[in-house]
Amino acid sequence: MHSLSTADLIIIAGYFLLTLVMGLVMTRRASRNLDEYYLGGRSLPWYLLGMAGMVSWFDLTGTMIITSFLYLLGPRGLFIEFRGGVALILPFMMAFTAKWHRRSGCMTAAEWMTYRFGQNRAAGWMRLITAIMWVVLSIGMLAYLIRGTTLFMGQILPYPPMLVTAVLIAICAVYTMLSGFYGVVLTDLVQGLIIIAASILIGFIAFQSVPDLATLGEVATRVTGNSLWTSSVPHVHTTMPRGYEMYESLLMFALFYLLRNVIGGLGTGAESRYFGARSDRDCGLQSMMQGAMIAFRWPLMISFAVLGLFMVDRYFPQMSAVEQAAATIHRHYPDITAPFWHDVTSEIINDPVAAAPGVAAELETLLGADWRGKLPLVSIYGTINPEQILPAVLLHSIPAGLRGFFLVAMLAAMMSTLSGTVNQGAAMMVRDIYQDRIRPKAGNRELLFASYGSAVFILVLAFWMGVNANSINELWAWLAMSLTAGMFAPQVLRLYWWRCNGWGVVGGTAFGGIGAIGQRIFMPGLVEWQQLLVMTAISFVSTIIISLLTPPTDRETLRHFYRTTRPFGSWGPLRAELSADTRTTMDREHRNDILAVPFIMLTQVSLFLLSMQFMIRSWTAITWIGSLLCIGLIGVYHYWWKNLPPADNPGIDLAEKSGVPLSSHAPPP
């Protein structure tokens, strides 16, 4: 089995040391107050926030799962990741939802609820339930990250994967708790630069390994059985291996996921990076930077997929050996289940003496003398495990020294996403549960210690959930199609429908969240499209019915929200109160914002596809995708860039509550 060289270990140790030092340096500033701790004092420049946003999209687990789909399908794997990995909700934040949320002057998504619905009994329950659901979502996302890290580290180090992951999580928790939002953002800057450098370097290595498109297609067909691997078109039917059969109707799933992103994207924007932005202009610019920078992710992932094809072709000239190896393990471990398959294979590799008698010898006969390096690629189904392609390529296709650098890049991707998620979840627990419901008079020191405890609580639950999941793809499907779908209606209707009230949001969030959690416990086998339809329906029906059965939000609260946020949608009674000039100005802004979204989406998808087609030398596809990219850029320039707030008047006013400015940027009362 391959192991890390001294140079690799030095590089990794240096990275962790730098991360902890940065956390300690930022501790003093972050501990001034909650606004400093969770939002960086609303003073960070857009390019730092944009880089932090890019790194949050660049998580290790997501990189592993998307690489697995690119390995199986080629560039067409991008269309499966319409469900989340392509970041199709980002255009909505870039165009309008981010600036709408920022204008509130709030600190968290739950606090924003009281700004929208007022200080009343329904708002109190709404804030509490929203906070609880966001904490659950944070725990689910962290479980997904932790599961991927466990799979990744199981190949890298000769120690129990769960133990290694626990140590990494502990290190990440320490610097996140100490440094707050400042440390998260500044660390993300360093991590982002490392990731971009790694993307360029691995892209060069992979590009050099591809003789031509035809040769690559032959290898891909031989390894994956997919004769259309080099195509970028989502066909109606696509061949998929066991465990991934649900994605065979690729075109249908792509359209379905696109619909999911449109619904979900309309309710986005309630993120720390936008609440902490200095102006409306900065919201748009940091979103643009996120979209441009995450384009580096796709050549990196297709590079790992390409190198994975050549590696598997070299290691398994007879694919029947993979099926026989899985059967051998099943025979020696008849009770093994999917969540613990990786732990069992790691134990066999690292300590064959302690494994079931004879299993190591049989595997060596089947796989050859280097069986330890090959076994992690064997899945529980007797096929190549695509989720293990990325770590396998790092170990077997990258030279020492460079391997350490790429490992740091992958760890940076994991830790940056994890730290941002922990920061957001802990903010909800402290601001909206502990301070609002339990200890409203708590001092600054007490609140900071509550922040530390909240972070630990969230991570412990997430670790338990992550290590018991069957696969990272299963976890992501539940997060994207069930849990978040159960929160769609309250997030969308509160922005576009004046009659949506606090009790409607309470009911919609509660019923949607309970439904998603119940589905995870009692019906975990429900396929993705069924999860999405059921949870979205539950969420919308309950929100609308409860809103109509209960009194509307106080008119003065609605008026304050509408005039400061300035959203479009069904706001007839509030819109009628505005002057004709104000309505004309708002209509012009709304028209440009709406028309910008499809062009931003087209630009984003074309850019991602174009970078992958370049990596596999698909010159014909580059021509027509490049044409689509040009159309997208023209639309983005006309409808978005030309209508950004100017630098000398970027839109810095924030809403006030009870006549007291929520930020130093707010206008005087």
- Fold entry, domain 6-315+399-661: Sodium/glucose cotransporter (1.20.1730)
Q: Is the dihedral of CA 330, 335, 340, 345 positive or negative?
A: negative
d(CA 330, CA 334): 5
How many DSSP H helices and E strands does the chain contain?
Answer: 30, 2
Q: Which residues of the chain have pLDDT under 70?
A: 1-3, 19-20, 22-43, 154, 173, 175-187, 416, 419-420, 467, 469-476, 656-669
Q: What is the pLDDT of residue 179?
A: 55
CB 189 within 8 A of CB 286: no
Nearest to 87 by CA among 304, 290, 387: 290
370, 280 Cβ separation under 8 angstroms: no
- Which pLDDT score, from 0 to 100, does residue 68 have? 93
What pLDDT score does 1 carry?
A: 45
Single-letter amino acid, residue 331? R
HEC string of 447-470 equals HHHHHHHHHHHHHHHHHHHHHCCC
Q: Map out the domains of the chain as residue ranges.
A: 6-315+399-661, 320-383
Sign of CA dihedral 467, 472, 478, 483: positive
Residue 159 φ/ψ, nearest 5 degrees: -135, 165
Q: What's the pLDDT at 252?
A: 84
Which of these, 174, 133, 162, 55, lies nearest to 465 by C-alpha position?
A: 162
Look at residue 31 in the predicted model and tell me its pLDDT. 47
